Structure 1
């Protein structure tokens, strides 16, 4: 189990005082997020990374830039690592959605895996987009690999690897700046998973 994939969530973003649906809305890191990325840089300074793959959204690119500072690691931007597209719900507060899309909001609560917000995508669709990218990364690198992405993306990957129902994917904790350390166990032919968290 020498080769590892480090699946990292970007640092914290500033989306205001109210909870919002932030999918592909392109927000930068907050000051706390920058501190988390700096902690990630400290952690990975002791680990040799062959290649780093990142979502094209600012919060991931900034995290990657800080994390990889001072290293010669090649960085590859993959569109398929973008967060789930929330369509017309993008950057809207949860209270706004409850008021203006009450029936759809309730439907999402019942079928979180299949539900598609207007103009967006479902978690099932997200998983179908992301898994081929993950498999490509896993099969085409011989050393330690870094993936810097989003909570939704990380959750659908972990859901697939560990047979976790998509309906319950929010039970998979993915705090800002967390590190999911994935190791391939040759004997069992299964991935092993360990999570580490950075402090802001």
Structure 2
């Protein structure tokens, strides 16, 4: 039984506008983010049977706008939280490079089994998101699911559901307020073979 999955990246926050690392931090949507959520409610009206979101405030706020417009409850699934980037949280790339030059030189955010100090590895995020997708398959099979999540999570979902190279994975980007549509079958999710 196939399940339609609309993956939405939450509306914009001030950290997104400033191009800062944002994983564990939990800022609210800014005014543009609220407008993006309202626009999504119109674009996807009538498409969702189920509304799922990450536990992060920015995802919950986006989902809240959709829920109010569609009269649907929101199901929170922790496995779809954004990747935590440890000591890089809240920094711009330039600030991270200056503050942690040894980590930056290792290209640490792109390593399969390494992460910035206090952060999550790519492997850990893949395993977590795969568990989240399995929950969606199990609990909402055959339905149309709208999932409000995050930028890195959207990359991982795409890699789990499509045959991507490592370069494709890092090039792919879902902007704030954008949507990607996938079909979930009944099979298991396999981690990519391009890791170190």
TM-score range, shorter chain: 0.7 to 0.9
Q: What secondary structure does 1:127 align onto?
A: helix
Q: How does 1:81-100 map to 2 (within 5 A)?
A: 81-100=80-99
**1:108, 1:115 within 8 Å by CA — same for their partners in 2?**
no
Q: What secondary structure does 1:83 align onto?
A: coil
What 5-or-longer segments of structure 1 have no aligned partner? 190-200
Q: CA deviation at 1:51?
A: 1.5
Distance in 2 between residues matched to 1:16 and 1:177, nearest whole Å:
12
Once superposed, what is the RMSD of the aligned Cα atoms? 2.5
What 5-or-longer segments of structure 2 have no aligned partner? 188-196
**2:21, 2:92 within 8 Å by CA — same for their partners in 1?**
yes
Q: CA deviation at 1:67?
A: 1.4
Tell me whether 105-114 or 35-44 shows the greater mean CA deviation: 105-114
Q: How does 1:114-133 map to 2 (within 5 A)?
A: 114-133=113-132
Distance 1:31 1:110, change over 3 A: closer
Distance in 1 between residues matched to 2:86 and 2:41, nearest whole Å:
33
Q: What secondary structure does 2:146 align onto?
A: strand
Matched pairs, number: 188
What residue in structure 2 maps to residue 67 of structure 1? 66
**1:111, 1:167 within 8 Å by CA — same for their partners in 2?**
no
TM-score norm. by structure 1 comes to 0.84
Q: Does structure 1 residue 163 correspond to structure 2 residue 163?
A: yes
